[in-house]
Each structure stands twice: as C-alpha cells, then as structure tokens.
C-alpha cells in the first residue's frame, strides 16, 4: 500500500514536471526547478504542502464538515502554546496521512517565523 502511494506520488510529480517542460518549450532533460521558478509555479512537493496547510487552516477555523472537527487541537503549554497536536500514528500509512502530517508541517511553518494570528483563529471557532 505504501509503495503504491509513493509510486502514485512520483507519477504525479513526473507528470507535473513534463507539463512545465511542455509549457516552457524546454528539452526533456532540462532541470525542472528553474522552469517552475520562471513560470512562477510551485513544484509538486510545495503544492502538496500548500494544500495540506489550507486543509489545516480550514479545520482550525471550522470551515470543514463535522467529520474533520476533531482532527487537530492546540497545545495548552506555556513554552509553545500555539502548536497543533493530533493522535500519535502507529503505522507508516498514518504517519504520512494529513491527520498526522498536517500538524507537523503546520508547527514547522509557525516555528520558522511565519506570522499567524492565532487570536483570530480562536475567535473564528
């Protein structure tokens, strides 16, 4: 199952690289990162993170169906009060699922200095 998800991810990434080469008229073996920069598009991994963060934000602001209501919660600690937590993953599949990966990525972005107004998040709930 995990191998299928990895190969599916790799196939989508290859398809996206091929598309940006076609759009820019580049050769088959040209590096894709400069092409993504020229066209001002996100590469596949950054696009994946972008959509994960949209999902986390919508969950925090109650803009998702009730099914996703209890996916994440804010930590109640004094040192890092604005970190998200979710249940621990016991398998590799769950570790890469948005349920576990979303809070990890959100916390990395917040701890890297990205400014998020957490008071407005709490007031929107």
pLDDT, residue 2, reads 52
pLDDT tier, 115 (very low <50, low <70, confident <90, very high otherwise):
low
Strands (E), the chain: 73-74, 84-85
Rg (CA), the chain: 18
What digits encode the pLDDT tens for the residues 12-51? 888 888 988 998 999 988 888 888 888 888 888 888 888 8
> Would you list the domain boundaries of the chain?
1-41, 48-125
Q: What's the whole-model pTM score?
A: 0.67
pLDDT, residue 123, reads 42
- Mean pLDDT, rounded, for 58-85: 77
13 close to 44: Cβ distance less than 8 angstroms: yes
């Amino acid at each position: 199952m995990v191998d299928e998800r990895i190969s599916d991810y790799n196939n989508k990434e290859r398809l996206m690289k091929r598309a940006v080469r076609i759009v820019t008229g580049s050769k088959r073996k040209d590096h894709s990162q400069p092409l993504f920069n020229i066209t001002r598009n996100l590469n596949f991994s950054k696009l994946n993170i972008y959509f994960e963060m949209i999902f986390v934000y919508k969950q925090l602001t109650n803009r998702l169906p009730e099914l996703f209501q209890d996916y994440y919660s804010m930590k109640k600690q004094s040192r890092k009060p604005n970190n998200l937590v979710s249940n621990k993953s016991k398998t590799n599949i769950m570790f890469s699922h948005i349920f576990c990966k979303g809070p990890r990525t959100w916390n990395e972005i917040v701890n890297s200095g990205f400014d998020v107004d957490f008071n407005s998040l709490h007031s929107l709930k």
